[in-house]
C-alpha cells in the first residue's frame, strides 16, 4: 500500500523525498531543510488519530496513519519513518506486541517509538514499554505542545541522520572516483611500462644503459644472442674491455666526449664474441649527465662491413684492370698508328708502280693483265683510305683536344660548300637550321664529325628518292644537340648501337663503299669533347644521327 494515499495532511510529494527547488537544483542544506520525513501514527480510534494529526500538522511533515498494529507493520515494510507514535491499548495486537515485532526487523530496530498511553495505566506500562525499546511516552490526554516538541526532536534527528548518510554517501562516491582514477593511472602506467619493456626486450637492435665508467647496467637479450656472452658476463667488465684493441682508443675517446657532455655520437668498432671472434657494431650513444648514464643503441653491421670490404677489394681490382686496359689500349693505339703510318709508304709505292704499269706498259698487257693491274690500284686506294681513317682515329684518341667556342652555323655552311659537288651529283638538298648556336668544341674534330655524318646521309640514300638532309640544333639544359637527319635507307633498330664500333658495317663495299670507321670516329670525337653521340632510325624511312656537345 502506498503511504501517500493515507496522508491526511501535508503535500503531494512522495514520502521521504524532498521536492526540487525552482531552478531544478537543490543544495544538500536545502534538501535537508525541505525534506519531509514520515511520521507513523498507530491508533485504533479514528478520533484520536485525527486529534494527533491536527497537532502534528504544524510540523509540516508526511503523517501516515494506521488503525491497527498489523496495518502499521505493513507501512513499515514499505516506508521509512522518522518516528512512530504507538497507542498501547489496541484490540487484537496491542502496542507492545506491535513494538516487539517492529524491533525484530533489522530495518526498523532503531526507529524511535513513542508510546501513547492513558495516565491511569501509565505506571506498569511505562517500564514494559521501555523494555521493548520505547524512547518516550506521551500520556493522554495529550498536551499538543509537548507532543509536537517531542515528535519534532525525532523529526530533526531523522533529518540529521539522513543528511549524515547523504554526506557519507557523497564522500564514498568521491573516494570511489578518486580511487578509480588512481587505479586507471596505475593501470596506464603499468601498461606503458610493459610496452616499454617489451620494446626493450623485443628489439632486434642492441639496447643498453651504461654508467660513465663504461659498465653496462641494463641490456636487452639481443646482446647475448649476437655476442654469445651472458648478461652477467657483459656487465662484469667495462665495455672497452670487449672492444678490439685497434678500435679501443677511438671508443675511449668517444666515451670521454660523452662524459664531457657531447650530444649523440656514432662510432663503429669490433666487439669481442664469446668464441673470441669479433663482430662489427655500429654504436649510437647519448649521455644523460644528470644520472651519469649513457644510453646505447648498437646494431650488428658485420655483414655490411664484409660487403664493404668486398666492394673495396673489387673496386681495387677493377681500378687495376682499367689501368691495365688503358695501358693496353694506349699500346694498341701506338701500335696501330705506327702500323698505319709505316704501311702507307710501301702501299703508295705499290699503287704508284701499278699506275705506272698501266700508263706505260698498258699496251703490252692483255685484258686480264690490265684488269689485274687495275685491281691492284683500286685495292691500294681502298687500303690507303682505310689507313687514312685509322690514322685519323688513332690521332683522335691520342691528341690533346683544346676546346673553344665554335659557331655551328659557320661550320655547317663551310661543309655544305665543300660538299657542293657531291650534293649536286646526287641531286640532293642539304638544309641547315643552326642559327646563332655556339658549342664548346675542338673545331677540327667537330668539322670531321659533321662531315662524316653528312657524307653518310648523302651516301646511304634511298634508291627511290633524292636525298634530303637537314642539320638542325636543339638547345638542352647545358648542351646543344646537333641532329643530322636524312630520308635514306634507315637502320634496323638492333643495329643502331653497334654501327658506332670500329669496322662495323651493314653493307658490302660494292653496295656502299666505306671503311666502317666513320661513326666510331664520330662517337670517339664527341666523347673526347665531353659529349656523346647516337642515332634514331626507322628502316627504309631515314635516320636521325645526333651529337650532343657542351654549350659554349
Q: How far apart are alpha carbons 349 and 356 in whole angstroms?
A: 10
User: How many residues lie near ligand ADP (CB under 6 A)?
Assistant: 21
Q: CB count, 10 Å around CB of 508?
A: 9
Q: How far apart are CA 199 and CA 168, in angstroms?
A: 46
Cell matching residue 450:
659533321
Q: Looking only at residues 512 through 551 of this chain, which bind ligand ADP when binding is defined by CB under 6 A?
A: 514-520, 543
Instruction: Report the 10 Å Cβ neighbour count for 362.
Output: 13
Q: Counting contacts by CB under 6 A, is residue 396 touching ligand ADP?
A: no
172 binds ligand ADP (CB under 6 A): no
Return the ∠ at Cα 333 (arms to 328 and 335), rounded to 5°.
Answer: 90
Contact 132, 96 (CB under 8 A): yes
Q: Which stretch binds ligand ADP (CB under 6 A): 71-79, 166-174, 435-443, 506-514?
A: 506-514
CA 160 – CA 142 distance, rounded (Å)? 27
17 or 498, CB closer to ligand ADP? 498
| Residue in the block written with cell 655483414 | 303
Contact residue for ligand ADP among 114, 380, 406, 489 (CB under 6 A): 489
Q: Does 506 bind ligand ADP (CB under 6 A)?
A: yes
CB of 493 to ligand ADP, least distance (A): 12
3-state class of 92 per DSSP? coil
CA-to-CA distance for 459 and 467, rounded, in angstroms? 9
CB of 498 to ligand ADP, least distance (A): 9
Stretch that binds ligand ADP, among 105-113, 152-160, 424-432, 453-461 (CB under 6 A): 453-461
What is d(CA 157, CA 246) in angstroms, rounded to the nearest whole number? 90
Q: How far is the CB of 396 from ligand ADP (least distance, A)?
A: 13
Positions 467 through 486 that interact with ligand ADP (CB under 6 A): 486
Q: Considering the rule CB under 6 A, would residue 444 count as an interface residue with ligand ADP?
A: no
Q: Tell me whether residue 128 or residue 462 sits nearer to ligand ADP (CB atom).
A: 462
- Min dist CB 374 to ligand ADP, Å, is 22
Q: Could you say whether residue 450 binds ligand ADP (CB under 6 A)?
A: no
Of 214-222, 394-402, 474-482, 509-517, the window that binds ligand ADP (rule: CB under 6 A) is: 509-517
Q: Cell numbers of 440, please? A: 664548346
Residue carrying C-alpha cell 638492333: 494
Per CB under 6 A, does 248 bind ligand ADP?
Answer: no
Give yes or no for residue 239 binding ligand ADP (CB under 6 A): no
Biggest CA-to-CA distance, the chain: 191
541 to 6, 185, 467, 468, 505: CA distances (angstroms): 118, 82, 11, 12, 19
CB of 418 to ligand ADP, least distance (A): 17
- Of 376, 388, 408, 372, the C-alpha closest to 480 is 408
Q: Which of 115, 242, 283, 460 binds ligand ADP (CB under 6 A)?
A: 460
Residue nearest to ligand ADP (CB): 514
Choose, by CB under 6 A, the member of 321, 348, 427, 507 that binds ligand ADP: 507
- Of 61 and 537, which CB lies nearer to ligand ADP in the complex structure? 537
Q: Name the residue nearer to ligand ADP (CB basis): 299 or 505.
A: 505
Give, in degrees to the nearest 5, the angle at Cα 505 between 499 and 508. 160
Nearer CB in complex with ligand ADP: 108/448? 448
Taking the C-alpha atoms of residue 102 and residue 543, their distance in angstroms, rounded to an integer, is 121
Give 43 or 486: the residue with its C-beta nearer to ligand ADP.
Answer: 486
| Bridge partner list, 209 | 218, 295
Least distance between ligand ADP and beta carbon 328 (Å): 23
For the CB of residue 473, give the shortest distance to ligand ADP in the complex, in Å.
Answer: 18
Nearer to ligand ADP, 440 or 543 (CB): 543
Minimum Å gap between C-beta 544 and ligand ADP is 9
Q: CA 472 → CA 326, 366, 408, 426, 481, distances in Å?
A: 36, 53, 10, 21, 8
Smallest distance from the beta carbon of 432 to ligand ADP, in angstroms?
Answer: 17
Out of 296, 396, 457, 549, the residue judged to bind ligand ADP by CB under 6 A? 457
- Scanning 292-300, 319-327, 416-424, 511-519 for contacts with ligand ADP by CB under 6 A, the matching segment is 511-519
166 binds ligand ADP (CB under 6 A): no
The Cα–Cα gap between 519 and 361 comes to: 41
Residue 392 in contact with ligand ADP, rule: CB under 6 A: no
| Cross-strand partners of 18 | none
* Residues paired with residue 534 on neighbouring β-strands, in sequence order: 546
**Nearest distance from residue 507's CB to ligand ADP, in Å?**
5
Q: Which three cell numbers stand for residue 429?
A: 638538298
CB 223 within 8 A of CB 248: no
d(C-alpha 521, C-alpha 391), whole Å: 11
Which parts of this chain interact with ligand ADP (CB under 6 A)?
A: 452, 456-457, 460, 486, 488-489, 491, 499, 504-507, 514-520, 543
Amino acid at each position: 500500500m502506498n503511504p501517500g494515499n493515507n496522508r491526511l495532511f501535508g503535500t503531494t510529494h512522495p514520502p521521504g523525498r524532498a521536492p526540487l527547488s525552482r531552478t531544478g537544483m537543490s543544495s544538500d542544506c536545502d534538501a535537508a531543510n525541505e525534506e519531509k520525513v514520515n511520521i507513523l501514527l498507530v491508533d485504533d480510534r479514528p478520533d484520536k488519530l485525527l486529534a494527533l494529526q491536527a497537532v502534528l500538522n504544524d510540523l509540516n511533515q508526511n503523517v501516515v496513519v494506521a488503525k491497527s498494529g498489523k496495518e502499521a507493520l505493513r507501512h513499515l515494510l514499505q516506508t521509512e519513518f522518522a518516528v512512530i507514535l504507538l497507542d498501547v491499548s489496541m484490540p487484537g495486537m496491542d502496542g507492545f506486541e506491535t513494538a516487539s515485532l517492529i524491533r525484530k526487523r533489522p530495518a526498523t530496530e532503531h526507529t524511535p517509538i513513542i508510546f501513547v498511553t492513558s495516565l491511569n495505566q501509565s505506571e506498569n506500562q511505562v517500564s514494559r514499554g521501555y523494555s521493548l525499546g520505547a524512547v518516550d511516552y506521551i500520556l493522554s490526554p495529550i498536551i499538543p505542545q509537548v507532543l509536537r516538541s517531542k515528535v519534532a526532536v525525532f523529526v530533526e534527528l531523522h533529518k540529521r541522520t539522513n543528511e549524515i548518510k547523504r554526506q557519507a554517501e557523497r564522500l564514498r562516491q568521491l573516494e570511489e572516483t578518486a580511487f578509480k582514477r588512481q587505479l586507471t593511472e596505475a593501470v596506464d602506467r603499468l601498461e606503458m611500462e610493459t610496452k616499454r619493456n617489451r620494446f626493450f626486450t623485443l628489439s632486434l637492435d642492441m639496447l643498453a644503459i651504461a654508467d660513465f665508467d663504461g659498465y653496462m647496467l641494463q641490456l636487452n637479450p639481443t646482446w647475448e644472442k649476437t655476442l654469445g656472452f651472458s648478461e652477467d658476463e657483459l656487465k662484469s667488465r667495462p665495455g672497452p674491455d670487449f672492444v678490439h684493441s685497434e678500435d679501443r682508443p677511438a671508443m675511449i675517446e668517444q666515451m670521454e666526449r660523452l662524459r664531457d657532455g657531447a650530444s649523440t655520437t656514432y662510432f663503429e668498432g669490433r666487439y669481442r664474441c664469446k668464441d673470441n671472434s669479433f663482430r662489427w657494431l655500429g654504436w649510437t650513444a647519448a649521455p644523460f649527465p644528470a644520472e651519469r648514464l649513457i644510453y646505447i643503441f648498437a646494431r650488428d653491421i658485420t655483414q655490411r662491413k664484409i660487403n664493404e670490404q668486398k666492394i673495396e677489394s673489387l673496386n681495387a681490382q677493377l681500378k687495376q684492370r682499367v689501368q691495365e686496359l688503358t695501358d693496353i689500349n694506349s699500346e694498341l693505339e701506338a701500335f696501330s698508328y705506327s702500323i698505319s703510318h709505316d704501311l702507307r709508304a710501301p702501299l703508295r709505292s705499290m699503287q704508284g708502280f701499278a699506275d705506272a704499269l698501266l700508263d706505260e706498259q698498258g699496251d703490252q698487257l692483255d685484258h686480264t693483265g690490265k684488269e689485274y693491274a687495275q685491281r691492284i690500284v683500286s685495292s691500294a686506294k681502298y687500303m690507303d683510305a682505310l689507313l687514312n681513317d685509322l690514322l685519323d682515329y688513332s690521332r683522335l684518341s691520342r691528341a690533346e683536344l683544346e676546346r673553344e667556342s665554335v659557331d655551328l652555323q659557320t661550320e655547317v655552311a663551310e661543309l655544305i660548300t665543300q660538299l657542293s659537288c657531291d650534293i649536286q651529283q646526287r641531286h640532293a638538298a642539304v638544309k641547315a637550321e643552326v642559327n646563332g648556336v655556339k658549342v664548346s668544341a675542338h673545331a677540327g674534330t667537330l668539322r670531321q664529325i659533321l662531315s662524316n655524318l653528312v657524307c653518310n646521309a648523302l651516301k646511304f640514300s634511298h634508291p627511290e628518292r633524292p636525298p634530303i638532309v637537314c642539320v638542325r640544333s636543339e638547345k638542352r639544359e647545358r648542351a646543344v644537340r646537333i641532329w643530322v637527319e636524312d630520308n635514306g635507307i634507315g637502320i634496323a633498330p638492333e643495329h643502331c648501337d653497334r654501327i658506332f664500333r670500329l669496322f662495323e658495317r651493314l653493307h658490302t663495299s660494292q653496295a656502299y663503299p666505306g671503311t666502317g670507321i666513320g661513326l666510331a670516329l664520330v662517337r670517339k670525337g664527341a666523347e673526347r669533347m665531353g659529349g656523346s653521340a647516337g642515332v634514331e632510325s626507322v628502316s627504309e624511312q631515314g635516320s636521325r644521327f645526333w651529337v650532343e656537345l657542351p654549350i659554349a
